[in-house]
Structure 1
Amino acid sequence: MSVYQDVTQEHEILDVQTTDCCVVGGGPAGAVLSLLLARQGISVMLLEAHKDFDRDFRGDTIHPSVMQIMEELGFSDRILQLPHTKMHRLNIQTSQETITLADFSHLNTRYPYIMMLPQVKFLEFITQEAQKYPNFQLVMGANVHEVIEENGVIQGVRYRGQGGWHEVQATLTVGADGRHSRLRQLADFESIETSPPMDVLWFRLPRHPEEFGGGMGRFGAGQIVVMLDRGEEWQLGYVIPKGGYQKLRAAGLEALKNSIVEVVPELNNRLELLQDWSQIAFLCVESSRLKRWYRPGLLLIGDAAHIMSPVGGVGINYAIQDAVVTANILSQPLKQHHVEISDLAKVQQHRELPTRIIQAFQTFIQKRIFAPILNENQTFQPPLLLRLPILRDLPARLIALGIFPVHVQI
C-alpha cells in the first residue's frame, strides 16, 4: 500500500493543491530554485517549516560565484545596497606569524570579496522577487511529514500547518531542506560520511570601530577562534575537538571565557557580556554526500544532498549553484509536465564532481591545519599550499568561484 493511501486514512486533509514543482525548504537553494522556475512560467510551491527566515548563526556568506549569478538575474546592484560587510582575504594568525589562507582581492571577477550579508535579508529579497510571478506560492510554517508515493514514484508531500493537514501533488518534488533534511529521511537515501575532527561554538560580541575588518582565524596552543566581521559585531567561532562539547560545558562558562582570552586578549573587556550558555550556539560539524541524489519524482540539492563543513563558508554557494543547474536542466521537462529519472541524474552528474572536490579541500584544511592546532602535542606547520606562490591562489579560487562556473541559461 502506498504512503498516499495510508495517509488519507489517518488524517483529514483540509485541501489538495497541484503544482509543477514542490520545493521543500526555503533556504538559499530552495528560494533561488523557486525563483528561477517561476521566471519560466512553471508553477512552484515553496514550503518552509519555520514561520520566518530569521535564525541565528546561519551561513551569511555570499561569494563571487553567487554574485555573478545575481548579476545575470539583474539583482547584483540591489543586493549590494543591502547592509553588508566585505572580506577581501582570510588570514590565519598564530603567536609567531600571520598567514593568508585566501586572498580574493586579485581574482578575475567584478566581486573580489566575500560578502557578509544576513541570510534572512538575502532570502527575503529572493522570495519577494519570486512573489512577483503569479505561478509562485510561498507557504511558511509548513512542516512536511510524509511523501506521497504511488507505483514507486514520489507524487508530492503532505505537510502540517495553518490549522491542519494539507496535500501538495507535484510533477517533481525537490528537497532543499538542509543538513537535517526530512525528505532525505523519509525517502531513505544512503550517504557517504566523513568524520571532521572538530565542532564549533558560535557567539557574538561587539566590534570596536578601530579594529581590523574581514575574517581571521586566531590560533593558540590547542585553541582556534574564528573572527568574522559583521559591522558592529564580531561573529566568533570557538573551534573544539570533535566530541569535546560536554567536557567544555562541565568546565563551565568562565573556563571557556579564559580560553578565548588566551587566544584573543583584546576581547577580555567584552566577554563579560557572555553570561549564559543560551547565548552560544553549538554546531556539530558534519560532512557527507549522498550516493544518489534522486528517486523517481524526487531530487535533493544543497545540504540535503551534500552536507558541507563550515570551512570556507562555501555551503550556501554550492547550494545555489545546485539550484541554478537544476533549473537549467529541468525547466523544459517541467514545462512538459514530465520529468524522467535520467533528467534528475543529469543534475547529480553536473554537480557531484565539484562537491567531491570542495569536500576534499575542506578535509585537507581540517586535517592539515585545524587538527594539529587542536592537538596540543603536535607542532603546527603551515602546508606548502599556503607557502608556495604557484599554489597560493588555489584556496581563494576554490572558495570564491568553485570548481566550474555556473551560469543561468534560462
Structure 2
Amino acid sequence: MTLGAKPHHPPRCCVVGGGPAGIMLALLLARAGISVVILEKHGDFLRDFRGDTVHPSTLQILKELDLLKQFELLPQRRESHLSGLVAGREQPVVDFRGLRPFDYLALVPQWDFLNLLADAGRRYEAFDLRMRHKATGLIQAGGRVAGVHVESPTGAYELRADLVVACDGRRSTIRDAAGLKAKDYGAPMDVLWFRVPRSASDPQGTFGIVNGGHLMVLLNRNDYWQTAFVVPKGSDATLRAQPIDGLREAVGRLAPFLSDRKDSIESWDKVSTLTVQVDRLERWHKPGLLLIGDAAHAMSPIGGVGINLAIQDAVATANALALPLREGRALDEALLASVQRRREMPVHVVQRVQLAIQNRVISRALEEGGRPPRIPWLLRMLLKSRIVRNRPARLFGYGIRQEHVRTPEFTA
C-alpha cells in the first residue's frame, strides 16, 4: 500500500496523531495483521523541543520488536546518572547504574525516533500513515463513534473505522469532540526551551542548576545544549514583553561557562514555551473510542517520562485489542475500559511523584528570590547511596506495571 493511499475497505482501526503513542500502536497492530490508518496533521516529524528522552522501558520494547540495533544507530547520547548544581554544589540525584537490562537513558531527537517506528510500520501492508491529514471531528452512528472527519491536501473526507484511538496530545481535538473531561492537577511552572552552542570544555552530562530563584536544565546534545529554563506559571507574556537581555543574563548567572555564548539566544523568536499541565481523564473511552498517551493524561516534564508512558499505553492497548480486532469481533466498551484499568495506576503514581516534586522542590526553588537554596542534610546523606539514587531511576526509567509486547507478528 502506498503512503496515503486509501484502503478499499474501512480500516479496523483509525489512530489520530502520529506521536510516540500513535505510531507505536499502529506499528503493533499492523504487525499483527490489522488494517490501521494513522492521521498526522503535520507533513513530517521535524519539530524542535519535543520530548527526546527514551527510557529503559522503551528500550525494552524496541528490543522485543527487533528494532534496538537500528535505534542504536540513531544520533544519541546515553546518560547513566543525573545530577544537579544547587547553589554551586554538585548533588547526584538519579542513577541508572546497576539497573538491568538497561542501565542508561538515551537522548534521541524525537523525529529520528518516530521515523524509525514509521519505517518499521511501512514494512506491513496493513500500515497506512497519512501525513498532512487532520482529524477535525467524530462521526457518530448507532450510539457509538464510527470514524472521524478528515481534512487533507486533496480535500475533506470521512474515514470510518471500527475503532478510533486518539493519540493527538494534550490539546486533543478528539477529546474535545467526545466531550470527555480531565481533572487538572495544576503546575507552578512553565518551561522556556532554547538552544545554546556547546564547547568541548563545557561540563559533560545532563544536569539541572538551581540558584537565586531560578532553575535551568541543560541537556547535552553534543554540539549544543538543549536548555529548559523554568519560569513561574503564566509569566511567559510578561517576560516576552521585556528585552531578551534579561533571559541572557539569567542564563549567564546560572551557568557562567555559557556567558560567552549567551548572545546566541538571538531573540524571543528563538525561544519556545512549553505550557506545563498535569491532568488525567476520568474516563478514557466511549463506545468505539479510546484515548491514550497525552490525550488521556498530560504529564509534567519532570523525569522526561511522557514518551515512555505513551509507549507503554500503546503496548497495553495492542495487547488487549489486537486479537479481537484481528478476529473481527465487536469491541464492547468493557474491553476498552480494561486498557484504562491497566494503565491508570502507573500513570497515577508517576503523576503523584511529579506533583510532589513540583510543589515541594520547584515551587520553593522559584520562590527563593536571591537566597541560596538548601538541601536538607538528611536528604544529602541519603543521596550518597546509589541504592537510594536507583529508586527514582527505576520509577521513571522502568515504571510500574511494565508492559511487554504480547502481540505476535502476523504472516499471511
Q: TM-score range by the shorter chain?
A: over 0.9
* 1:16 to partner: Cα distance: 8.6
Distance 2:10 2:379 in 1: 52
The answer to whether the aligner puts 1:276 opposite 2:235 as a matched pair is no
Shift of 1:87: 1.3
Is 1:161 equivalent to 2:152 in the alignment? yes
TM-score by length of 2: 0.93
Offset of residue 178 of structure 1: 0.7
Structure 1 residues 32-181: aligned runs within 5 Å: 32-109=24-101, 111-181=102-172
Residue 382 of structure 1 corresponds to: 375
CA drift at 1:376: 2.0
Are 1:322 and 2:274 counterparts?
A: no
Contact 2:188–2:358 at 8 Å: present in 1 too? yes
Provide the C-alpha distance between the structure 2 equivalents of 1:118 and 1:178, rounded to a whole number of angstroms. Answer: 18
Paired position in structure 1 for 2:3: none
Contact 1:87 1:115 in 2 (8 A): yes
Task: Give CA-to-partner distance per residue, 1:31-71, whole Å, 9 cap, x none.
Answer: 00000000110000011010111001000111011001100
Counterpart position of 2:333: 341
Mapped contact 2:197–2:264 kept (Cα < 8 A): no
Instruction: Give the aligned partner of residue 3 of structure 1.
Output: none
How high is the sequence identity, in percent, across the aligned residues? 42
Match of 2:397 in 1: 400
Task: Say if 1:94 and 1:218, in contact at 8 Å, map to a contact too.
Answer: yes
Q: Hey, what does 2:410 align to over in structure 1? A: none
User: Partners in 2 of 1:17 and 1:380 — Cα distance?
Assistant: 62
Inter-partner Cα distance in structure 2 for 1:264 and 1:305: 37
1:332 is matched with 323
Q: 1:108 and 1:393 mapped to 2: Cα distance?
A: 11
Aligned with residue 200 of structure 1, among 191, 195, 203: 191
The DSSP-based 3-state class of the residue aligned with 2:158 is strand
- SS state at 1:174 partner: strand
Letter in 1 for 2:305: V
Structure 1 residue 387 displacement after superposition: 4.3
Matched, 1:266 2:257: yes
For residues 326-356 of structure 1, the C-alpha deviation after alignment (integer angstroms, 9 at most, x for no partner) is 0000001111332111110110000000000
Partner of 1:11: none
Alignment size in residue pairs: 396
Aligned residue type for 2:150: Y
Task: For 1:282, give the aligned amino acid.
Answer: T
Say if 2:406 is the partner of 1:409.
yes
Deviation of the 1:364 alpha carbon: 1.4
Shift in alpha-carbon separation, 1:102–1:21, aligned structure 2, 3 A: same
1:182 equivalent among 154, 162, 173: 173
Structure 1 contact 44–135 (Cα < 8 Å) conserved: yes
**8 Å contact kept, 1:67–1:76:** yes
CA distance in 1 between partners of 2:158 and 2:322 (Å): 23
Q: Is the 8 A contact 2:86 2:373 kept in 1?
A: no
Gaps of 5+ in 1: 1-13
Write out the 4+ residue segments of structure 1 that deviate beyond 6 Å after TM superposition.
none
Task: Give, as a single letter, the amino acid of the residue that structure 2 aligns with 1:293.
Answer: W
Q: What is the one-letter code of the residue matched to 1:399?
A: F
Alpha-carbon deviations, 1:77-112, whole Å to 9, x = none? 110011111111111101252112211122122x21
CA–CA distance in 2 between the matches of 1:73 and 1:295? Answer: 30
User: Quick one: which amino acid aligns to residue 120 of structure 1?
Assistant: W
Aligned residue number for residue 5 of structure 1: none
CA contact (8 A) 2:97 2:390 kept: no
Distance 2:9 2:130 in 1: 12
